[in-house]
Amino acid sequence: MVSLSTIVIVACVGLTANATKLPEIALIIDDIGYQYEIGRTAIELQQSFAYAILPFSPYGQGLARLAKSLNKEVMVHLPMEADDNNHLLGPSALRLNMSRREIEDTFHASVAAVPYAVGINNHMGSRLTRERVHMNWLMHVMRERGGLFFVDSRTTSASVASDLAHQTGIATATRDIFLDNLKTKTHIKEQLNRLVAAAKLNGRALGIAHPHVETLEVLRNWQPAKVGIRLVRISEYVKRGRNNDESMSNADALLASDTPKCGNQSNNANPAQDPDI
């Protein structure tokens, strides 16, 4: 006869094994702050997504408070100079022609403008994230301030931002898949499938999406557990990054060699579809 304690132990071991084995996904919805209704709809989705808010945007602070009240994580979506379309940067962008002092002051002002932020990711930035000097200034002022992680949105495959964050001792992660470069539900579902596939190959994957009606409709119906995925908060995803990176080297090799194209590989395959957003 099997004792109750044996059953409990077996059940607990099973749960622990499942919890540690399930591939993990974190998802950031960024570009929040200029449109109230769609921002609110995004934040009110049931899942534990993170919300990256543009500093000094008209609705940014209110939406950050709403997110906090719903136990969602908030990030600063920090604008950085791009190769093109810099008229879309908005206020408080980090630019190539700035001094170190200007980069530091802009960083502090931007963080202060987004209440409850736990981390930062770059808005646009295909130009600036290639610049070692500027990225070093940013990472050093982040380290001085403390308490924030950095997610590289990877709007260019030449970005050095995440590497320099890591070298500076800032907790960091890199975007794998943009979900909605094309605003069709078919494309967004395909990208979500790619994100899941990347997580299953690599143990984990990080997606970025935007507050478009089509995106939110797809995400509203997405049930990660049904496809064998554990959706984690972005802070947890970033914190666990180092260990996973080290233990997943075999999966990394598999992803590199046996490539159903995913992550920035697929996104960069067609530069016209690689938005600097």
Q: Which residues would be at the binding site for Zn ion (CB under 5 A)?
A: 30-31, 123, 277
CB of 123 to Zn ion, least distance (A): 4
CB of 254 to Zn ion, least distance (A): 31
Q: Report the C-alpha gap between 93 and 61 in whole angstroms.
A: 18
Q: Quick one: 30 or 176, whose CB is closer to Zn ion? A: 30
Q: Residue 119: phi, psi to the nearest 5? A: -165, 180
Q: Quick one: 30 or 104, whose CB is closer to Zn ion? A: 30
Q: Quick one: 115 or 275, whose CB is closer to Zn ion? A: 275
CB of 124 to Zn ion, least distance (A): 6
Q: Quick one: 182 or 248, whose CB is closer to Zn ion? A: 182
3-state secondary structure (DSSP) of residue 150: strand
CB of 177 to Zn ion, least distance (A): 15
- In terms of C-beta density within 10 A (0-12 exposed, 13-18 middle, 19 or more buried), how is residue 10 classed? exposed
Q: Which residue is nearest to Zn ion (CB)?
A: 123
Evaluate whether 198 touches 262 at the Cβ level (below 8 Å): yes
Q: What is the largest CA-CA distance in the chain?
A: 76
Evaluate whether 79 touches 132 at the Cβ level (below 8 Å): no
Q: Quick one: 192 or 209, whose CB is closer to Zn ion? A: 209
3-state secondary structure (DSSP) of residue 172: strand
CB of 151 to Zn ion, least distance (A): 12
Q: Strands 172-174, 149-152: parallel, antiparallel or unpaired by DSSP?
A: parallel
